[in-house]
Structure formats: structure tokens, C-alpha cells
Homo-oligomer: A and B are copies of this chain.
Amino acid sequence: MKQSSLGNLVQPFHVMELVKAADTLNNQGKPVIHLSIGEPDFPMPKPVEQALAQAISEHKTRYTAALGLPELREAISLYYQTNFQVQVPAHQIVITSGASAALMYACLALINPTDKVLLTDPGYPCNKTFVQMAGGIPDFVQTQEAQNFQPSWADLYKQWTPHTAGVLLASPNNPTGTQLGAQAMQEIVQGVSTQGGFVIVDEIYQSLCYDRPAQSVLQVTGAPSEQIPVVVINSFSKYFGMTGLRLGWMVVPDTLLPAIERFAQNLSICPNTPAQWAALACFTPETLAICEERRLVFKVRRDFVVTALPKAGIELHSTPDSAFYVYAKSPYDSERYCRQLLEQALVCAVPGKDFSEFRGSEMMRFSYANSMDNLETAIERIRLFNNRQLP
């Protein structure tokens, strides 16, 4: 039984080894604090939970249309209108099994075998797999602290080749918790468009931002079209706290819609049905108020963490303003550091390896999706550990 070359190529989440070690410690009665998790520490908002329970009691458990519930596509269209003042027709919005399926359809519909696709480094580890699955070749663009780890069009253009098909960006970005400004975004879309390429923009942490209002590339470009070669990826996981429900959406140009529908029919049939009905409750004032309250909790934690980490001996060279991550320099080789921090200080943070080809061993990621109490304890443990360990 021969495994495919893609099967050999695709990378595991290296962090899982660390998480397994953390579980072992926990099972030994040594309670680890996780600053490792890419998942909000809040339960699903109550109104969403109630809508989910209601959908089930109403037997809404059958297949839906491949592109998703029309009602939900309408609700998202209205959300763009109300919250971002941008007109996105409902038919250009596609409901997917998490942002994962959205990234998959976008890559399959846009990338030909041997096409190069620009990805920012550091970035979400799975992006390269989606590109590779479509036969494409990830071409990493190294971003800098001084630019908040986001690229300019000049950075992308420097690496653009005749074989480059497009670029996949994330704003806010994981692992850096930083965003692209509206002007930079505009320049990128315009530049890529001139080259005949595509721009996929991952906005799954969209409303988890702390220093300015949430933004979308669509505010800059308007709805995608033949002339605006943009695909937007979004999710109910992070801001709306529906991680395990596996529900996301994408915004696509009309011209791409038939191919996306064919992929959705063939590869997924439809997204989870009760989750889709539940997601309708995300856009009620009640749920939005809960999510806004949680955003403010994240902001307080962010403020604490960016002040406390440097005092504990962790250098920060960028100011994260979004998502729930801090990407920072590791005191020494990050795999060794994170392993020792776990074993000796019972704090689980994540080495950069999963996020970066270039500087993975230098960098590490802290998640502040944890309670203030735990964050305080964890950072005190880090301080003690660093003071003992560092020269």
C-alpha cells in the first residue's frame, strides 16, 4: 500500500507532541496552564445554544442546499450591510463546514498544479496544505515585526513570478494577532489584480480586534467580481464561539460561484444543518451584545499580557491588536524553550515551527484565550522560570 506524495508532504501540527506531554503532566496531577489553544475559553453564546437546541427539537437535521441555508446567507449579507456598511448580495455568500472547507474550495477553484501561491510567514499552518492539495506550491513571503508581520504590495510584488497565481492573506493574522491596514489592503488587491492574480483574505478573527473598529477587505473593494478578484473567508468559530460546530462562510465573485457550488456538492454535500440554523441567532442584538462583551474581556487580557510578558522576560517587537495571540521572540530555541517551560513551569505555549519556515525556532506564540487568573499565574510562572534559567 503506497502512500501518495501529498500524504508524505502534508505536515502534522508539531504542537500536538507538546500538547500530549501537557496531558501526561495533567494526568500526573501537575496542572498545566494552556497558553496554547486557538479556541475561545467561553461557551457558545446562550441564544445560539438555544437556537441549536430548538433546531434539533424541530427535526432540522436533514441535508440543506450545498451552498447553505438561504436564510443564513441573507443574514450574513445583512450583517455586512449593518456592521461594515458594505453591500454583499446573499447569493455571493456561501456557507461552509468551517473556514477549513471555505479555504479548500477557494484553493481548488483558483489554483492549478505547479502554480505558485504567496503565503505570509508567519501564518496559519494549514494554508500551505490547502495550496498543496490543489497541486500548488506555497511561496512564503517573510514579514517583519516592524510592519506588524503584514506584507505590503511591494513585498509581494518582489516575489511575484510568471508562475504566481495569487496570494492568501489573513487579517487579523494567526499567530501574530495583527491586521492589514485599509490602504495596504487596497494596494495589494489593486497590484494583484493588475497581475491577473487572486487574493484570498482570511478574516476569521475579524471582530476580535481591540484598537480600532473591525474591518473587512470588502469595505475597500466592495463585493468581489470578475474585476475584483477577491475571495473572503470567515467563520463562526472565534468571535461567535462556535468552534466545534464547524461552520464558516466565504464571499466569492459570481464567476466563481458555479465551481464553488460543484465543489460543495461533491466534496461535502452540505454544512452541518443544526449548526446553520443555530448560526442564524448569531446576528441578533442579544448575541452580538454577548460577543461584544467577550471582545472587551479579550481586550483587557491583551492589555495585561502585552505589559506583563516583557516584564517576565519575553520580548515583544510588535503590538498585537486582534485575535487572541501574542507572537514573540523565544528566549532561546523555541522548541527547547517551550518544552522546558512546560516541564518545569507547567505552562504550555507554542513554538514557532508550525507557523514559520524562516524563523520558527526563534519565535513562539502565546494564546490569551484563558481566564485572567490563569494568565496571571502563567506569566508569573514564566517570569520565575526565565529568571532562573536565563544567564
Question: For the complex, is A259 an interface residue (Cβ under 8 Å from B)?
Answer: yes
16 A-B pairs whose Cβ atoms sit less than 8 Å apart in the complex: A1-B198, A4-B109, A4-B110, A7-B109, A7-B263, A10-B262, A11-B266, A43-B59, A49-B57, A53-B56, A56-B56, A63-B244, A245-B273, A245-B274, A246-B273, A272-B272
Choose the segment among A97-105, A156-164, A169-177, A335-343 that binds chain B (4+ C-beta atoms closer than 8 Å). A97-105
Question: A255 within 8 Å of B by Cβ?
Answer: yes
A37 smallest CB distance to B (angstroms): 9
A181 at the interface (CB under 8 A from B): no
* Complex Cα–Cα for A112 and B56 (A): 41
Interface hit among A78-86, A128-136, A357-365:
A128-136
Assembled-state Cα–Cα distance A98/B269 (Å): 9
A267 touches B129 (CB 8 A): yes
A8 at interface (Cβ–Cβ under 8 A)? yes
Q: Is the CB of A4 within 8 A of B246?
A: no
Residues of chain A whose beta carbon lies under 8 Å from any beta carbon of chain B: 1-8, 10-13, 16, 39, 43-44, 49, 52-53, 56-57, 59-64, 97-98, 100-101, 104, 108-113, 125-126, 129-130, 133-135, 165, 196, 198, 226, 229, 242-246, 253, 255-256, 258-259, 261-263, 265-275
A258 contact set on B, CB distance < 8 A:
12
Q: Which residues of B sit under 8 angstroms from A245, Cβ to Cβ?
A: 61, 272-274
Is A1 a contact of B226 with CB atoms below 8 Å? yes
In the assembled complex, which residues on chain B have CB atoms less than 8 Å from the CB atom of A244? 60-64, 270, 272-274
Pick the contact of A261: B6, B12, B59, B61 (CB < 8 A): B12
Cβ-closest chain B residue relative to A125? B266
- Nearest to A275 among chain B residues (CB) is B272
Q: In the complex, which residues of chain B have a beta carbon less than 8 angstroms from the beta carbon of A101? A: 268
Pair B61/A243 contact, Cβ less than 8 Å: yes
Determine the distance from Cα of A9 to Cα of B17 in the docked complex, in whole angstroms: 39
Q: Which residues of B contact A242 (CB under 8 A)?
A: 61
Q: A112 and B269: CB pair below 8 A?
A: no
Known contacts A7-B109, A256-B1, A268-B97: does B39 contact A61 (CB below 8 Å)?
A: no
